Amino acid sequence: DQQVKQNSPSLSVQEGRISILNCDYTNSMFDYFLWYKKYPAEGPTFLISISSIKDKNEDGRFTVFLNKSAKHLSLHIVPSQPGDSAVYFCAASARGSGTYKYIFGTGTRLKVLA
């Protein structure tokens, strides 16, 4: 049972345009969400996070939006750069039991075309 889903395995975007990566979740107890970027042969690196008390969080070119009623979050990258080409994972953490676990999605491979 996949609690965190990234339904798009891959995405291609032109340099300078907006990249939108999506993530859906099923567990209504999730209250903290993160996005990670992963380059080949490296460990994932943290990008941005959001708590369920907010619906938006920005950090430079990266913005995460959270829609709790739809159980959906998205990562916007504007403008996209070739160095953004990587695999992006969303992750979620639940309050209550299981609060110590971060559950990850299956990832979306972003390719930014120069």
Q: Which residues bind another protein (CB under 8 A)?
A: 6, 9, 31-32, 34, 36, 41-46, 49, 51, 89, 91, 93, 99-107
Closer to another protein at the Cβ: 15 or 22? Answer: 22
Rounded to a whole number of angstroms, the minimum distance from the CB of residue 6 to another protein is 8
Write out the two tokens for 104. 């990850």
Rounded to a whole number of angstroms, the minimum distance from the CB of residue 65 to another protein is 18
Nearest Cα neighbor of 52 from 90, 4, 95 is: 95
Q: Any residues with CB less than 8 A from the CB of 60 and at least 6 apart, and which?
A: none
Rounded to a whole number of angstroms, the minimum distance from the CB of residue 42 to another protein is 6
The rounded distance, in Å, linking the Cα atoms of 38 and 88 is 6
